[in-house]
Chains A and B, each alone.
Chain A
């Protein structure tokens, strides 16, 4: 198996979770990377400060789409604060070699991309859009 395209990533690329319609979401934000043309919209639906649903749609490379799918799965059920903390951890994990590896094993699969600096943005695009949904008014 090609190193970056680990089983978990491929599974999420081929069978994306929570992808598509964002009409029922409370808040939707877009992340784009004009350098590679990737564009992801992320929507959240929260109930009582808890993420009931995180969905996405858009276009991008396999890593970008797999990361969005994994994100949508791993953030469901988190409080808004926990989700923001997880976003921060992901940014740090990818920006800094000393960043702590996420305990969630599905999330940890994204670590395969850390050795490919040029692809880090692909992983983080959906996370940055999620961050927008969590922080913007």
Chain B
């Protein structure tokens, strides 16, 4: 390894190297896996894997559908998971937590079920130029369908929100501001508290896309005072196929269900039907029991480590990577230099080398990074590129991963450099 590996990470009360043992994938292969793609999907600790397996081995039955003991306990466990997730983001009530397939589905539910029915010509919905397609396309479509306008908060040269140039953001015509907490490309942490505070003065609801934040830093929906918040389990050590929508009670009451079917209706007649109470109203189809249980265990696991410690650790890793990568000739890093505005995500380029080539060669050296537009084409247009290479850090990463990344970049330059 290079000398870079010797950089010491300030000690913390949490033994992060020991936590690495919780993740079987890091001990499963003959070669070391340097996994720097946690912003796409995080690895899973044994407790989550076991919870999912245990569910299918001994707890599994349909949720809210059976009257025998196993089905009753399955239903209780599912609702207990909902309460755990409510506690995780400090929702006032478990009824404000809707299980969805993903953060994506949660946003689509708000766009179709809450925004769509009330939106009219002249109304505006605001997003930002750094949004993931999942927090962009649903708003683009609902605005087009309803004759409303989609407005975009521009970014400054460092990639941060340029609120001064977002004229009309808090105007009377604004019906919703939908914004990401943390950029999945630049790692920028947005001043969502400030935006929500200013929006509240005009009674403008705000949706926070917390997919990249909720597992990495403290998130408290009551302190934030956001109207909606979406999250995804698989990005925070949980299983795939499950996410959540948080909605303030009054907002969920204004929301039409996205999916209609079993489990969300009380009375069905030939002409009209009566929806069930919230949250069941928004969870048509057989609930994902194993997913919900795994999600809750992941939340407890992260809570057990402490999100302040996780945030500190991931920021430190990214700051070290920023410094080390900056010193490599031909490497440029996107986003602000000041680490205060950054989380554990780092996008970069190597002059004259396509990001896909970087990711491929890095992969052949056991370093898993992402390359592409990261489902953020509007942001790529702002950065004037078609793709970036991205290293994203989780608390289970360490200095050796950074050293391996540096080596992979040097190898890429050696193979493909002019």
Contacts and interface: CB of A to CB of B under 8 A. Distances in A.
Interface of A: 1-5, 10, 13-14, 34-38, 60-64, 116, 119, 122
A1 B361 CA distance: 10
A116 B359 CA distance: 12
B360 A119 contact: yes
A119 B373 CA distance: 15
A13 B385 CA distance: 21
A62 B357 contact: yes
Contacts of B380: 37
B167 interface: no
Query: 10 shortest A-B CB distances, which residue pairs?
Result: A37-B386, A61-B354, A61-B356, A62-B357, A2-B364, A61-B357, A2-B361, A5-B415, A62-B416, A37-B387
A122 B418 contact: no
Interface string B314-328: 000000000000000
B364 A36 contact: no
Given A36-B356, A62-B357, 18 more contacts: A2-B361, A2-B411, A4-B364, A5-B357, A10-B415, A10-B416, A34-B377, A35-B373, A36-B372, A36-B373, A37-B373, A60-B354, A62-B353, A62-B354, A63-B356, A64-B354, A119-B356, A122-B356
Contacts of A63: 356-357
Contact of A14 (B356, B357, B411, B418): B418
Contacts of A37: 373, 380, 385-387
8 contacts: A5-B361, A5-B416, A34-B377, A35-B372, A35-B373, A36-B372, A37-B373, A62-B416
B36 to A, nearest CB: 18
Of the four ranges (under 10, 10 to 19, 20 to 34, 35 or more), the interface on chain B belongs to 10 to 19
Among B360, B364, B415, B416, the one with the most A-chain Cβ atoms within 10 Å of its Cβ is B360
Contacts of A4: 360, 364
Nearest to B364: A2
Contacts of A62: 353-354, 357, 416
B386 A36 contact: yes
Interface in B333-369: 353-354, 356-357, 360-361, 364
B274 to A, nearest CB: 45
A5 B358 CA distance: 12
B31 to A, nearest CB: 15
Contacts of B411: 2
A56 B36 CA distance: 36
Interface in B368-411: 372-373, 377, 380, 385-387, 411
A118 to B, nearest CB: 8
Contacts of A35: 372-373
Nearest to A64: B354
Nearest to A4: B360
Contacts of A64: 354
A123 to B, nearest CB: 12
A13 B416 contact: yes
B386 to A, nearest CB: 2
A116 B95 CA distance: 46
A14 B418 CA distance: 7
Contact of B415 (A2, A34, A119, A122): A2
Contacts of A34: 377, 386
Nearest to A5: B415
Given A60-B354, A61-B357, A116-B360, A36 B416 contact: no
Among A1, A35, A37, A38, the one with the most B-chain Cβ atoms within 10 Å of its Cβ is A37
Contacts of A3: 364
Contacts of B357: 5, 61-63
Contacts of A60: 354
A10 to B, nearest CB: 7
A20 B221 CA distance: 56
A59 to B, nearest CB: 8
Contacts of A2: 360-361, 364, 411, 415
A1 B380 CA distance: 32
Interface string B266-295: 000000000000000000000000000000
Nearest to A116: B360
Contacts of B354: 36, 60-62, 64
B388 to A, nearest CB: 10
